Structure 1
């Protein structure tokens, strides 16, 4: 039993690392569609992820960088301006029951809002969004409010 538990834990951890690597590699856009990297000199406001990569209109975004237990997927952006950005997508959240390595990911449709653009400390000439709000359209993870607001990396 213990060997099986260790094997399962190792497999889940490897899967999480692979998912994070693939997500980072494809965050700009799927194959066949141009990526939306934010290049130096651009005036577009960017979204900075936990690996300090900046993107514009990403398809996916990891919220829980430490363990990958919460991420946004299938993002469709309807607005991206210096004043804010809006998308709809899905928040995939691990229920961590009975514990995170054995938990199940649940899908929650959300509306994503980015705002409060400021100069990025790493590159002061680049404006980046500093706040993200998720509005759950129906169900939401246990303990979450209908609208959850998070500070973003600087």
Structure 2
């Protein structure tokens, strides 16, 4: 399996991977592929990586977030999608590791994610008192500081996330 930057030729496959991966997800409106398209069109898709076997089997999007309305070098991980037949094979972990490595190399201050604490905790994500996201239960919102200090405040994702919110 190869983890690489998304190319223009991958865009339909990326949308299809998200559509298939979230099709039966109980908390999804099925619009994650549209979200990735909207982030890309807005110039807010900072990192867009695909996992390729014989074809694209997974994708991760990372986009800027603001804290208390200010861009402070923090990013949001997601959406991330893996085709069902390729799950539990390390595809998502490889995408997350590669995405976080890119953020570290770029000097990002940190990354947030909304998801399962047991899973994302493996990558160092933790809940932090004082870092808030109004979009769901606080126990599912976690951060990974990549700089020496933790930033606190209210986190907002790009407006395109209203598609899935």
TM normalised by structure 1 equals 0.31
Give 1 or 2: higher helix fraction.
2
Higher-Rg member (1/2)? 1
